[in-house]
Amino acid sequence: MKTVAIVGASLAGARAAQELRAQGFDGRVVLVGEEPHLPYDRPPLSKAFLAGTASRESLELLDADDLASLDVRLGTRAERLDPSTGRLVLSDGELEADGVVLATGGRARALPGTESVAGVHVLRTLDDALALREELIPGARVVIVGGGFIGAEVASTCNALGLDVTVLEALPTPLARVLGPELGSICARLHDRNGVTLRCGASVAGLSTLSGRVTGVELETGETLPADVVVAGIGMVPAVEWLHGSGLVVDNGVRTDSGLVASLPNVVAAGDVAAYGPAGTRHEHWTNASEQASVAVANLLAGQAVREYEPSGYVWSDQYAGTLQLAGHPSPDDEVRFADGGPDDESFLATYHRDGQTVAVFGLNNPRGFGRLRRQALRRPMPVG
């Protein structure tokens, strides 16, 4: 293998580039990114960077030594892939590669029909964060559609800036699909404790506008909430359209085996775009993108799946000067037990149980205790023989 192309200058793409060198590949590595920016860290986009307290430089994922060993193509869109030959058709020409790492991530879902309405934002890219940050001026009324991690983090940041914030969540309990209803309800209280209005069971019918700019959010109940800024935090769509007709299986992402190898052994996927294993599982979290790269690269260099990806399920979220941490794979129906503190405390630890097994641990404002409980409760048994 002489040339490996990494499509997507994302966290997964950056880690794949580093892993190729760490695992001994000394050939050509081409990193293709549609954005004009070098790979950057996304979690601060909804927090410190959005608040203006983190610099652009602090987001960089690759250092000078990393970049010196790469052929970086920024502002370049991948348009087609022929996996049988490794030929990539790019917006600025063609690229021949022996191996391909797909790390294109995805695009934030927008509220339908709002693409040309001023004051309406999504938050996934650096440019998204810069555009939103410009509008978070004193006195702005912010309505956030979606009470998941991104929505909650943006709400927290806007609240810290002294803005009036309302969060609209379609489900009865925010984060219930991730944390279950009990812990989701506890996390929902963080909004109220910090003066942010949370409206659950709220469905958006449309927007009110004046001269092309948003002035309010219309609910299906007929109520209109005044808004100067609207942020949609309603998930993402895997960036796979360009792969249709490539011969790869594309279904809610790029389908791979448990080792992140696609339908041809010279193509692997990592990060938000990878739908791996029999169930086509996708995880849209920082840790997942970082962890998958080493497995995907090892299998690409081996020409077959010699390793399987075993996700840690670790997720964290900084909200209202506090930290939520989750490890493992909980289900909304799991039994929740409090290991330290209780549901009314500002700091606690909890475990999830299913069929007599501890399947996940959760911590609120207790990072040291969380780390200890995680090691104890989720320790895998040592193999015998």
pLDDT, one tens digit per residue, over 283-297 is 898 999 999 999 999
Q: Among candidates 257, 307, 317, 263, which has minimal Cα distance to 287?
A: 317
Average pLDDT over residues 330-347: 94
| Beta-strand runs (E) in 63-200 | 71-74, 78-82, 87-90, 93-96, 99-102, 106-108, 120-122, 141-145, 164-169, 197-200
Mean pLDDT in residue range 299-312:
94
CB 335 within 8 A of CB 182: no
Q: Position of tokens 């109940």? A: 221
The confidence score (pLDDT) of residue 89 equals 95
Residue with the two structure tokens 């996304």: 42
- DSSP designation for 124: S
Identify the pLDDT of residue 382. 34
**Confidence (pLDDT) at 381:** 42
Domains of the chain: 3-107+236-302 (3.50.50.60), 110-232 (3.50.50.60), 321-377 (3.30.390.30)
> Per-residue pLDDT tens for 254-263?
999 999 999 9
Q: Which pLDDT score, from 0 to 100, does residue 55 have?
A: 96
Q: Where are the beta strands (DSSP E) in 53-212?
A: 71-74, 78-82, 87-90, 93-96, 99-102, 106-108, 120-122, 141-145, 164-169, 197-200, 204-210
Strands 315-319 and 322-328: antiparallel
| DSSP-derived pairing of the beta strands 28-33 and 71-74 | parallel
